[in-house]
Amino acid sequence: AQSDLNDLQNQETELYAEIGKKSLLRNSGQFPELESKLKLVQSNLKEVQASLEAVQREKTKKDRAERQTEEQCTCPECGHRNLEGVKFCQECGAKLGSSSCPACRAVLPPGTRFCGECGA
């Protein structure tokens, strides 16, 4: 019963909001105080959205860097997680990190046997 009551109250609120929007569009200027408050809220909303997007971009960038570090520390041969900065796997001795193609200098991910750029 509580859930039904909440749903009906939400529907009522949404209908009042829709009526208010239509009334504001038809009668612009009749509610100057409310209209200025609405503009302020909309401005603040844009600022918060921009801030949130910036934080999300930064998090994505950080996550990407962490994944790259994880990939460089994980042995392509045995899967052992090595300490950062180690060049050879402490478990099996395989070379860690990306290397470059001797022919074209393209960056090769760990475990790559042939260059995807030139085939060498």
Confidence of residue 100 (pLDDT cuts 50, 70, 90): confident
Average pLDDT over residues 111-117: 82
| Tens digits of residue pLDDT in 26-50 | 988 888 999 999 999 999 999 999 9
- pLDDT for the residue numbered 111: 67
Whether the pLDDT of residue 117 is over 80: the answer is yes
Chain-centroid distance of CA 52 in Å reads: 10
pTM for this predicted structure: 0.55
The tokens 């949404």 sit on which residue? 14
Whether the pLDDT of residue 110 is over 80: the answer is no
Strongest mean pLDDT among 1-5, 33-37, 58-62, 114-118? 58-62
